[in-house]
Amino acid sequence: MLTDKLKTTIQDAYTRILESKEIKPRYGQRLMIADIARTLGNIDQQNPDQPNICTLEAGTGTGKTIAYIVAALPIAREHKKKLIISTATIALQEQILLKDLPEIQRHSGLNFSFTLAKGRKRYVCLHKLENFIAHKNQADLPLDIPSSEVLLNNKDDILLYDDLYQAWKKRDWDGEIDSWNDFIAQSSWLPLTSDQHQCSGKRCSFYNECPYFKARESVFKVDCIIANHDLVLSDLNMGGGFILPSPDECIYIFDEGHHLPIKAINHFSYSFHINTTLKWLEQVNSTLNNFASLAKPPAQIQRIVTQFPEQAKDISTEINNLELIVKQFKFPENRFSSSAGNTSGSSGEQILRFEFGQIPEILKAQCLQLLKQFEKLSGQLLQINTVLKDTLDGEITGLKTEIAEQWTPALAPMESRASAAMNLFEFFTKKDKQGQPPNARWLKKNDSANNSYRSGSHSKQNELQGIELSCSPILAANTLEQILWSQCYGAVVTSATIAALGNFDRYVLNSGVPGFFNILPSPFNYQDNVEFMVPEMRSEATQYQSHTDEVVEILKKIIDPKKGTLVLFASKKQMSDVEYELLRSDDIWKKLLLTQGQRNKQVIINDHKKQIDKGNGSVILGLNSFAEGIDLPGEYCEHVIIAKLPFSVPNNPVDASLTEWIESQGRNAFMEIAVPDAAIKLVQACGRLIRKETDKGKITLLDKRVITKFYGKKILNALPPYRINLNVPID
């Protein structure tokens, strides 16, 4: 419970911070502290079904980080739990690690330790590094390096690995990529890393020196751990307690929590690519033969290896049969993008989405055949890896320990990949639970594939198509309930934009989060500092050409060439067309415009700020990624112009399946999904204008639907309390 002692600790810490930094208390911040303390402090250990979770919308300027740390950290320590702060972006993670936590530690009077948790791929595998160094002068990889990931004739990599090895031996480098004093390309770095399947853990001879396990050990010792949503979900996906402490030992803070559902969907999606799997089967055969030749494994393993070529042939035959069936289907001409997190799509890529996730019986029958094949293969590879692990554990298996240690990194991922294929076919064919949202299931055909592969042939066959099967949940609610909400000791979900149209219905639909909800007041004086304007317009935003022409016409009139302006578009085509028309109309635009896609995002932001610092004007033309997460305070942005309401069409199989499911229940998907999502995105875009209390400026929306359509009033009411002017004449 929230004892008087805890209340005093929290109040004293907050007061000390305010006094030390000479800042005034913010009403929204105090409410946030109270909501978190009440939710987490009243954990009733006699009632495990009571959700100790709160979801809070706290806008820019609230001071979220101070609020959730001051409130949650003393409670976590009192209950002997770890506080996990998870973010969606590196920028916020670095801010919390390098600025916020050190300041709170220095000014609050709270005594706590903290560290940053990183994934295994950020650390070198010393076993691999030493092996590559030992064989760097050999033309071919010997059998005791069962890796096809590295070509040792790459002189740059050889030099790099030498430098890394010598620096590690001298203790000048700790084995983490981020602490190396120069850039390392991913293609050079990844062969030096391991994953949970390749790593032999405590059985490895380098375990006591391993950079990853040293870092992991420190993670389990501190009070507060900074992570990201992907890392948290990866740990939960494995059952929890592998990368981070187990969820029942943790209180989670999900900052930028509006990203969590889509991250979860991506983590629990499966895919199977025909061409790469055929190639992989041949690699498995080669690796197993090398293993059997060198290691002389026990008889039961020898039998698996001996029988594998015939088994691989059978699997390849079934995969080819699968492709023949898929080729009979008529793919629609429209282009989906292949995942919920990617809306761009690839040229030549076609998607066939199955309505309500129901696949044809002929396809289902073939997938069931492949499910049996990969269940068998996964079991056989598990047998091999069990022998390797038993050997490393000191059991008598007939293998030498050094051989088992050498081959685990090569053979363990094969079991993992076979299991992934098994999971795909299992989820692709299993019946969805009645009354629950169905899984989205689809096929992807890439007409432009030029590296297509067939077993027994290494030639490129441009005429062949790359085909991929995919399956994904359409909502993360059930998954997050099973692995997170029902398992964690407590949690806080927060974001500047997490409610939609004044409520949390859309977020609950996505995430399934239970508990307490609140929208906290902003410290900003929006009424006096922001004018939100919708000009008088002739065109409809849905009429592309006439709307684009009018956008160009209005931009010429309302952009001040001496100030900082951000213009946001819903489509790359309209952004490009507007840029073209502006550039050809007057030379002044050549000096003003900075367009997304022409340079790196951060370079554009830096160049924009440099121009403003010189007293010049600058105009950024950007898409959705510039509508969230960028900081242009003060004179850097005095005018945000939004070309049209940011409605999303269901342009990927997951969103299309969700829309289909909602409408099948007699509900209105447009009002349940499209309008709330557009309202959130509009608020995010508008949020680029006011970043601190002294900021002022105006926002212009070039879309009259907010005035003429029945849903327009809902969207306007969801905005902060700006001064709103509609149908403003533009001279």
Intra-chain end-to-end CA distance of the chain, in Å? 63
Same domain assignment for residues 282 and 425: yes
Q: What does each C-alpha distance from 82 to 164, 225, 246, 476 come to in angstroms? A: 34, 7, 9, 25
Residue of 672, 254, 337, 336 lying closest to 475 (CA atoms): 672
Handedness of CA 95, 96, 99, 100 (dihedral sign): positive
Residue of 444, 647, 472, 633 lying closest to 542 (CA atoms): 647
Same domain assignment for residues 23 and 66: yes
User: How far from chain centre, in Å, is Cα 467?
Assistant: 25
pLDDT in the model for residue 461:
42
Same domain assignment for residues 665 and 610: yes
Most confident of 97-111, 129-143, 154-168: 97-111
State the average pLDDT over residues 523-528: 93
Q: Is the pLDDT of residue 573 over 50?
A: yes
Q: Is the pLDDT of residue 684 over 60?
A: yes
Comparison of pLDDT for 295 and 193, the residue scoring more: 193
Strand partners, 444: 351, 468
Token digits for 722?
């700006």
CA–CA gap between residue 17 and residue 31 (Å, rounded): 16
| H helix intervals, 114-243 | 126-134, 155-169, 186-189, 211-219, 229-237
Is 372 strand, coil or helix? helix
Same domain assignment for residues 414 and 286: yes
The radius of gyration of the chain from alpha carbons, rounded to an integer in Å, stands at 28
State the average pLDDT over residues 393-413: 84
Same domain assignment for residues 228 and 304: no
Q: What are phi and psi of 485, to 5 degrees?
A: -60, -40
State the average pLDDT over residues 136-150: 48
pLDDT in the model for residue 198:
79
pLDDT in the model for residue 205:
83
Token digits for 677?
């999502």
pLDDT in the model for residue 661:
95
Mean pLDDT (the chain) is 89
Q: Sheet containing 516-519: which strands, arranged edge to edge?
A: 114-116, 224-228, 82-87, 250-254, 490-495, 53-57, 516-519
Q: Is the pLDDT of residue 463 over 60?
A: no
| Confidence tier at 399 by pLDDT (50, 70, 90) | confident
Is 53 strand, coil or helix? strand
Rounded to 5°, angle at Cα 189 from 184 and 193: 145
CA–CA gap between residue 337 and residue 358 (Å, rounded): 20
Same domain assignment for residues 363 and 304: yes
State the average pLDDT over residues 107-120: 92
Residue of 141, 204, 193 lying closest to 164 (CA atoms): 193
CA–CA gap between residue 556 and residue 567 (Å, rounded): 12
CATH code of the domain containing 234: 3.40.50.300
Same domain assignment for residues 459 and 554: no
Same domain assignment for residues 234 and 370: no
Q: What does each C-alpha distance from 683 to 201, 238, 499, 551 come to in angstroms? A: 47, 36, 10, 21
pLDDT in the model for residue 724:
96
Q: Is the pLDDT of residue 427 over 60?
A: yes
User: How far from chain centre, in Å, is Cα 241?
Assistant: 20
pLDDT in the model for residue 256:
94
Q: Are 474 and 657 in contact (CB under 8 A)?
A: yes
pLDDT in the model for residue 458:
41
Tell me 257's DSSP state: G
CA–CA gap between residue 596 and residue 128 (Å, rounded): 40
pLDDT in the model for residue 344:
41
Q: Are 689 and 695 in contact (CB under 8 A)?
A: yes
Q: Which domain holds residue 159?
A: 120-215
Is 705 strand, coil or helix? helix
CA–CA gap between residue 76 and residue 40 (Å, rounded): 9
Each residue of 35-65: pLDDT tens digit? 999 999 887 655 656 679 999 999 888 999 9
CA–CA gap between residue 429 and residue 13 (Å, rounded): 55
pLDDT in the model for residue 337:
55
State the residue for tokens 């030549």. 348
Q: Is the pLDDT of residue 90 over 90?
A: no
Same domain assignment for residues 553 and 682: yes
The pTM assigned to this predicted structure is 0.89
Q: Are 77 and 13 in contact (CB under 8 A)?
A: no
| Confidence tier at 96 by pLDDT (50, 70, 90) | very high
Each residue of 651-674: pLDDT tens digit? 789 999 999 999 999 999 999 999
Same domain assignment for residues 209 and 259: no
pLDDT in the model for residue 132:
82
Residue 115's H or E segment, with its range, is: strand 114-116
CA–CA gap between residue 346 and residue 327 (Å, rounded): 19
Q: What percent of the chain has pLDDT over 90?
A: 67
Q: Which amino acid is at 39?
A: T
Residue 352's H or E segment, with its range, is: strand 349-353
Among residues 470, 491, 508, the one where a domain terminates is 470
Looking at the structure of the chain, the number of domains it has is 4
CA dihedral (313, 315, 320, 322) in degrees, to 10, reads: 170
pLDDT in the model for residue 452:
39
User: How far from chain centre, in Å, is Cα 446?
Assistant: 24
State the average pLDDT over residues 367-392: 93
Among residues 430, 452, 470, the one where a domain terminates is 470
Same domain assignment for residues 382 and 399: yes
DSSP-derived secondary structure for 684-700: HHHTTT--STT--EEEE
Is 497 strand, coil or helix? coil
701 Cβ neighbours under 8 A, 6+ residues apart: 532, 533, 534, 642, 645, 682
Same domain assignment for residues 300 and 347: yes
CA–CA gap between residue 498 and residue 503 (Å, rounded): 9
Q: Is the pLDDT of residue 456 over 50?
A: no
Q: Are 533 and 698 in contact (CB under 8 A)?
A: yes
| Confidence tier at 6 by pLDDT (50, 70, 90) | very high
Each residue of 270-300: pLDDT tens digit? 999 999 999 999 999 999 998 888 888 888 8
Is 345 strand, coil or helix? coil
Q: Tally the C-alpha atoms within 13 A of residue 512's C-alpha that lie toward its C-beta.
A: 19
Q: Is the pLDDT of residue 675 over 50?
A: yes
| Confidence tier at 83 by pLDDT (50, 70, 90) | very high
Q: What 3 state SS string does 419-458 have?
A: HHHHHHHHHHHCCCCCCCCCEEEEEEEECCCCCCCECCEC
